[in-house]
Structure 1
Amino acid sequence: MLTWNDHHLVLTVSRSGTIAGAARRLGINETTVARRLASVEGEAGATLFRRMDGKLVANAAGRAIAIAAEAMENALADASRSTEVLHGIVRVTSVLSVIEHMIAPHLPHFAQRHPNLVLELIGTNETASLARREVDIAIRLERPARGKLVARRLGRIRFLLAGRVGTKPEGYVAYERDLDHAPEIVAVRKYFDGASPRARIATLAGMRVAVEAGMGGAMLPEWMISQSSGIGVIDPSVSIERPLWLVVHEDVKKRPAVRAACDWLAEIVTGARGANGYLTQAS
C-alpha cells in the first residue's frame, strides 16, 4: 500500500518533470529520488512515467496517484487553516447604519469564533482607501469602478419615502451635498419637484430623527421605517433598492485574518435578510 510520502513523491516528480527538479523540491539527492520512485513503481505494479522531450510525464497510473496526492495535500491545507490561530486587527469601514444595526450586535459571536482577532469598525460615509491600505474591508452601497478590488454583493437595501405620521411633508432631508448623486436622493428630489433640501444630515439615524420631528420627508431604509412608530411611508411608489457590496483589495483578500473577517461579515450581513428585514435577496 502506498503511503503519503509515496504519493507526495509521485506528485512532486509530476510537477517538476525531472528527477533533478524533484530532488531540489524535496531537498534530497537525485539518486534517492530515483531509488524511491522505482520502489513506488514496484509497489504499484506499474511504471508511472514516460519520457517525452526530455521530461518525465505521468501516464494514466501516475496521474491517478498524483491526483490522489493533490486531494490529500488540499485536505491537509484545509485542516491546517481550520486550526490556525488568527491574531491582529482587521479594519472595516461602512456607513454607520450598517455597522450599528447589522454588524455591532453580532460582535460577541465574532469574538467567540476568533478570540485573538480584533475588528476595528469605522463608521463613515467617506470612502476610505482600500488601495492605500487605510482599511482592509469596505461594505458599501456603491461597487468600485476601478482598482484591483474584488466585490461581492451581499444583498439589497430598499429605501422608501418616509414622513412623520399624520403630516404631509412640504420638503425633505438629504445627505451631505457631495452625495446628491445617490439614487435615493435623486428620487426624493424628483418627488419634491427639484427643490433643495430643508436640511442635510450625515447619517441615516440623524435623518430619521429629523423626520420624526417633522422636518420633512426622507428616503430611509424600509427596516428603519418599520422600527419607528413616529414615521410612515408617504408614497410606496417612491422606492429605490441599492446593492450592498463587500469589497476587499485583491492583494490582501487571501490573508488569513482578512479572509476570516470577510467570511464572517458575509455570514452575518446576509443573515440580516428575512427575520430582521434589513436586506432583500442578493440577486
Structure 2
Amino acid sequence: MEDQEVLSYREETNLHFNSKAYLQRFTDPHDLWYHAAILKCWHTFYQEHGKEFDPTKTSMLEFGGGPTVWDLISVTPFVSSITFTDFADTSRTEIQLWKSKNPDGHNWKPYIEYVVRTLEDNNDPNAVNLREQEIRDKIHQLAPCDARADKPLGDNIQEEFDIIHTNLCLEAVCDDKETFYRYLKNVCQYLKPKGCMLIVTACECHSYQCWKGEDNLHALYLESEDLDMACKTAGLTVLKKHIVQDASAVNATSNSKYYQFTVAQKN
C-alpha cells in the first residue's frame, strides 16, 4: 500500500498541475528562442557520441519528462525504445495525445524543425515529419514515476536502461541537498553499468513558476559543485558539464542564474 503522504501529494499534484498552461511556455516563437541553448546541448552530445549507441537495441528512460518531448528530438535516432515517465497524470495524458496525433495534442513541430533543419542541417523535405513520427513510434511505454520512492518506477518496470534523461525535475521536489542526492541515486538504479545520464538543472535558483502568472514555487538552491557531489553519491562519474548562461536560455518563469547540462556515466 502506498504511503498516505505520497498518495496525498500525488492527488494534490494531479489536481492542480495544469499541463495545458505549462505547455504555453513552448508555444510562442520567443520560447523556442530561449530554449535553443538547451536544445543545442542535447544535439551536440548526440552528434558527438550517438554512434556509440546501437539504435537497434539501445533503451532510454525519460524520468520526470512533464508534458514535453523537446529533449527526445536529438536522441531518438540513436535508440530503439523510449520509456516516458512523469509523476502527474495530466503530463502523461498530454504525451499520449501528441503520440496518437490527437488534435488536442501540443504542436512540437517548430522544435523538431529547429533541431532537424537548423542544428542538424537536414534539408530533406520529409525529414521533419519523419523525425516526428519516429519519436511517436519509439515511445513504447508511458508510466508514472516518483523519485522519492525506493522504487521510483514501481513494481511494473524492473529493467535497466542505456540512457536516462532527467531535466529540470529533481531540484523542484527537494527541500535540501541530502534529499536531492538520495533522489538522484534512486533514479540511477535504473541505469545500466557504463550507461549515460543526461541531466539539465536550474542552478542558483530559489523559486520558479510552472506557468506565467502562477504563484512562485520553491526550488532547491544548487550550485555546480552540488551536482558533482550528487553524481558521486549516486555512483556516477561526470564526463562533461556545460554551463548555459546565455540570457536566451533563462526561462522567465524562474530566477535561476544558469542552467547546467551534465553528462555522467554509471560506474
Q: Say yes or no: TM over 0.5.
A: no
- Give the TM-score normalised by structure 2: 0.29
TM-score normalized by structure 1?
A: 0.27
Structure whose CA Rg is larger: 1
